[in-house]
Amino acid sequence: MTLIPGDGIGKEITVAVKRVAQALNTAIVWDEVVAGQEAFDQTGELIPQDVYASLDKNRVALKGPITTPIGHGFRSVNVSLRKHYNLHTNIRPIRVLGQIPALHRDVDIVLFRENTEDLYAGVEEQISPDEAHSIKIITRQATERIVRAAYEYAVANDRHSVAIVTKANIMKLSDGLFLKVAREVAEGYPQIETREVLVDNMAMQLVMKPQQFDVIVTENLYGDILSDLMAGLIGGLGLVPGANIGDDIAIFEAVHGSAPDIAGKEIANPTAILLAFADLLDYISLQDDAKKIREALALVLSDANNFTRDLGGDLSTTAFTDRIISQLLK
Ligand code: NAD
Check which CATH number belongs to the domain holding 315 and give it.
3.40.718.10
Do 253 and 327 fall within a single domain? yes
- Structural domain includes residue 212: yes
Do 196 and 209 fall within a single domain? yes
Do 96 and 240 fall within a single domain? yes
- ipTM score of complex: 0.98
- Residues with C-beta less than 6 Å from any ligand 1 atom: 9, 65-68, 78, 237-238, 253, 256-262, 268-269, 272, 310
Do 9 and 56 fall within a single domain? yes
Q: How far is the CA of 132 from the centre of ligand 1 (A)?
A: 27
State which ligand 1 atom lies nearest to the alpha carbon of 310: 20
Do 229 and 247 fall within a single domain? no
Beta strands at 241-245 and 250-254: parallel, antiparallel or unpaired = antiparallel
Do 149 and 205 fall within a single domain? yes
Q: How far is the CA of 199 from the centre of ligand 1 (A)?
A: 23
Q: What percent of the chain has pLDDT over 70?
A: 98
Residue among 34, 97, 237 whose CB has most ligand 1 atoms within 8 A, to mutate? 237
State which ligand 1 atom lies nearest to the alpha carbon of 66: 40
- Structural domain includes residue 254: yes
Residue nearest to atom 12 of ligand 1 (CA): 259
- Structural domain includes residue 107: no
Q: How far is the CA of 259 from the centre of ligand 1 (A)?
A: 4
- Structural domain includes residue 122: yes
pLDDT tens per residue across span 157-209 = 999 999 999 999 999 999 999 999 999 999 999 999 999 999 999 999 999 99
pLDDT tens per residue across span 12-68 = 999 999 999 999 999 899 999 999 988 888 888 899 999 999 999 999 999 999 988
Mark out the alpha helices in 5-139 (DSSP H runs): 10-23, 37-43, 49-58, 77-84
Q: How far is the CA of 143 from the centre of ligand 1 (A)?
A: 28
Establish how many alpha carbons lie within 13 A of residue 100's alpha carbon, considering only the half-sphere containing its beta carbon: 31
- Structural domain includes residue 204: yes
- Structural domain includes residue 21: yes
CA–CA gap between residue 59 and residue 54 (Å, rounded): 8
Do 246 and 98 fall within a single domain? yes
Do 67 and 54 fall within a single domain? yes
Q: How far is the CA of 313 from the centre of ligand 1 (A)?
A: 19
Side chain identity at residue 1, one-letter code: M
Do 252 and 324 fall within a single domain? yes
Instruction: Determine contact, residues 252/63, Cβ cutoff 8 Å.
Output: yes
Do 316 and 328 fall within a single domain? yes
Whether pLDDT at 69 is above 80: no
Do 167 and 223 fall within a single domain? yes
pLDDT value of residue 72? 60
Do 65 and 79 fall within a single domain? yes
Instruction: Determine contact, residues 179/146, Cβ cutoff 8 Å.
Output: no
pLDDT tens per residue across span 303-319 = 999 999 999 999 999 99
Residue nearest to atom 5 of ligand 1 (CA): 259
3-state class (DSSP) for residue 154: helix
Residue nearest to atom 17 of ligand 1 (CA): 238
pLDDT value of residue 199? 98
- Structural domain includes residue 111: no
Mean pLDDT of 66-92: 85
Q: In three state form, how does the secondary structure of 210-242 look? A: HHHCCEEEECHHHHHHHHHHHHHHCCCHHHCEE
Q: What percent of the chain has pLDDT over 90?
A: 90
- Structural domain includes residue 109: no
Residue among 256, 266, 271, 309 whose CB has most ligand 1 atoms within 8 A, to mutate? 256
pLDDT tens per residue across span 268-285 = 999 999 999 999 999 999
The total number of structural domains in the chain stands at: 2
Task: Show the domain range for 133.
Answer: 117-234
- CATH number of the domain residue 150 falls in: 3.40.50
Residue among 63, 234, 258 whose CB has most ligand 1 atoms within 8 A, to mutate? 258
Q: How far is the CA of 152 from the centre of ligand 1 (A)?
A: 31
Side chain identity at residue 27, one-letter code: A
3-state class (DSSP) for residue 2: strand
Whether pLDDT at 219 is above 90: yes
Q: What is the chain's mean pLDDT, rounded?
A: 95
Q: How far is the CA of 304 from the centre of ligand 1 (A)?
A: 23
Q: How far is the CA of 12 from the centre of ligand 1 (A)?
A: 13
Cα–Cα distance list, 43 to 40, 65, 151 (Å): 5, 19, 43
